[in-house]
Amino acid sequence: MAKLTDDADYDAGETFKNACRFGRVQHLEHLISYGADINSQTTKNGNTPLHICSYAGQEACTRLLLFRGANRRLVNRAGHTAYQQAVLSQHHDLANVIQEFKEEDIGELSFKVYPGPICNCPPPNYTSFDS
Angle between helices 92-100 and 49-56 (to 10 degrees): 150
What's the rounded Cα separation, in Å, for the pair 64 and 23? 11
CATH H-level, domain 12-105: superfamily: Ankyrin repeat-containing domain (1.25.40.20)
- Name the residue type at position 51: H
pLDDT of residue 9: 39
Give the tens place of pLDDT for each residue, 27-56. 999 998 888 899 999 888 999 999 999 999
Domain ranges across the chain: 12-105
Identity of residue 77: R
* Inter-residue contact 64 to 25 (CB < 8 Å): yes
* 70-107 per-position pLDDT tens digit: 999 999 999 999 999 999 999 999 999 999 998 888 87
Angle, CA 39 vertex, CA 60 and CA 59 arms, to 5° = 15
Q: What pTM, to 2 d.p., does this model score?
A: 0.74
Residue 76: closest CA among 37, 48, 55 = 48
